Each structure stands twice: as structure tokens, then as C-alpha cells.
């Protein structure tokens, strides 16, 4: 019923915690299939995945980047519902059952997104992030449960630095509806090696979005973020 997609690259320190958070879900295990796309890892990620080969499906490929790894998992998924988990992060044990229940009982919604906790490994602090209705620029790509047909309508991820923002822009642009579940059910781990800490990541990612979408479309969602949070990291304010 639910396919969990994990795009894994050199994540030996974290991948077991991520997988165990899936295995510990209150959703019965027979209703959940885990697909791990091993995107050319060169550390011990492959050996760790081998330990769980009876419980997960592993797809090995040469290193092609996050978007293409996620797309490979989505294309191979058989579930009616699809959700991503970053190998650095982990789920609350209720995430799958609660989000699935909403989509099963409310056919007017096409995805469910939740609040989250952000874990800062540098000082071991935990901060709750309240996302807000339709607030694309405070969402992340993982932890959102989609109906399978969303990908048939919207398409797959484009190979961008902000692949998640671009996807949600296309999602809402198609007139699809997301349900905001005001519970912190996803744990997002921030550490020094995160992609978001790389030099020029935010500047270059924003430039790509502006070239694809234009400033007027992006300003609509920046305004949503500013109205909810009072600020935005992006310049169109």
C-alpha cells in the first residue's frame, strides 16, 4: 500500500537509524515496502543495506544525484502511496499510519505534509518547525505522503538543487490539494556534511527556480512564508 523511497549515498553513519524508524511504524509491515536506491555509495552503506536485504529492496546504480535516485525509486514503486525518507533522517512511529489514514478517508487531498523536528548535531538541540498551509518554502522533500497518481500527473523530480520546491510548485500549479497535519512527525537531522551547508547552495538553487518559474510565481509563495513566519531567506520580499 505504501512505498517508502530512500535515496542513499555514503550514509553509513545514519542509514540504520532511518531504516529502523520505518520498521518500527505502527502501520503493519505488510502494508509498507521499503525501496533503497543506493546511488553509487563508496563507503560501507552497501554492507549495511545487505544486513536488511530480507526487509528492503535495494536498487544499485552509479552515482547520478539525488533527483535521479528518487525518480528511480518512484518508477520502481508499486504502492498506492509514496513517501520519501532521507537516509540522514527518521520517522516518528505514527507518521505512516496517520498520513495514510487521511488520504484513505479524504479523497479530495492528494498529499499530506506535517510539521517536523529539526535536530542540530553541532549542539544536539531539537527545534520544532511549524510548516503552515501551502508554505512551500518551509517544506522539505521528504516526509510528504503522495498518492501514486500525483507523479503521473505532475511528473518526476527535475535535476535541480531545489528539486522539492520545484515539485511542489508543479503540484499546486496543477490545482492539487495538500492536507497540512499539524503534528511534528518527521525528524530532520542537520549536520556539517548536509547539502544545504555547501557554498552557494541557496544562491544557485534560487537562481534555477527563478529561471524556471519567474519572479511573479515565486513571490506568491514567498508572501505565504512571510505572512506565516515574518521572514524569508529568499530575496523577492
Q: How much is the mean pLDDT over the chain? A: 95
Asked if residue 192 has pLDDT above 80, the reply is: no
Cell numbers that stand for 210 in this block? 527563478
Query: What confidence category does residue 123 fall into, taking pLDDT thresholds of 50, 70 and 90?
Result: confident
Place 193 in a pLDDT band, splitting at 50, 70 and 90.
low
Q: Cα 227 to chain center, whole Å?
A: 24
Domains of the chain: 2-229 (3.90.550.10)
Q: Which pLDDT does position 237 carry in this prediction?
A: 53
Mean pLDDT value of segment 150-170: 97
Measured between alpha carbons, how far is 84 from 1 in angstroms, rounded to an integer? Answer: 14
Pairing of strands 145-147, 111-120: antiparallel
Amino acid at each position: 500500500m505504501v512505498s517508502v523511497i530512500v535515496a542513499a549515498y555514503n550514509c553509513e553513519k545514519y542509514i540504520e537509524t532511518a531504516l529502523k524508524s520505518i520498521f518500527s511504524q505502527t502501520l503493519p509491515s505488510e502494508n509498507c515496502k521499503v525501496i533503497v536506491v543506493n546511488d553509487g555509495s563508496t563507503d560501507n552503506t552497501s554492507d549495511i543495506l545487505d544486513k536488511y536485504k530480507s526487509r528492503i529492496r535495494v536498487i544499485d546504480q552509479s552515482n547520478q544525484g539525488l533527483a535521479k535516485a528518487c525518480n528511480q525509486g518512484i518508477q520502481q514503486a508499486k504502492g498506492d502511496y509514496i513517501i520519501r525518507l532521507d537516509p540522514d533522517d527518521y520517522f516518528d512511529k505514527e507518521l505512516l499510519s496517520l498520513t495514510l489514514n487521511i488520504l484513505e478517508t479524504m479523497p479530495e487531498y492528494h498529499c499530506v505534509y506535517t510539521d517536523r523536528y529539526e535536530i542540530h548535531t553541532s549542539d544536539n538541540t531539537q527545534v520544532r518547525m511549524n510548516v503552515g498551509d501551502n508554505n512551500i518554502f518551509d517544506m522539505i522533500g521528504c516526509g510528504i505522503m503522495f498518492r501514486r497518481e500525483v507523479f503521473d500527473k505532475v511528473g518526476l523530480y527535475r535535476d535541480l538543487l531545489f528539486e522539492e520546491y520545484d515539485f511542489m510548485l508543479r503540484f499546486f500549479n496543477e490545482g492539487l490539494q495538500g492536507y497540512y497535519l499539524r503534528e511534528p512527525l518527521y525528524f530532520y537531522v542537520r549536520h556539517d556534511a548536509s547539502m544545504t551547508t555547501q557554498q552557494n547552495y541557496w544562491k544557485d538553487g534560487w537562481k534555477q527556480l527563478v529561471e524556471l518559474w519567474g519572479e511573479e510565481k515565486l513571490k506568491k509563495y514567498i508572501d505565504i512564508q512571510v505572512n506565516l513566519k515574518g521572514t524569508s531567506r529568499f530575496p523577492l520580499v
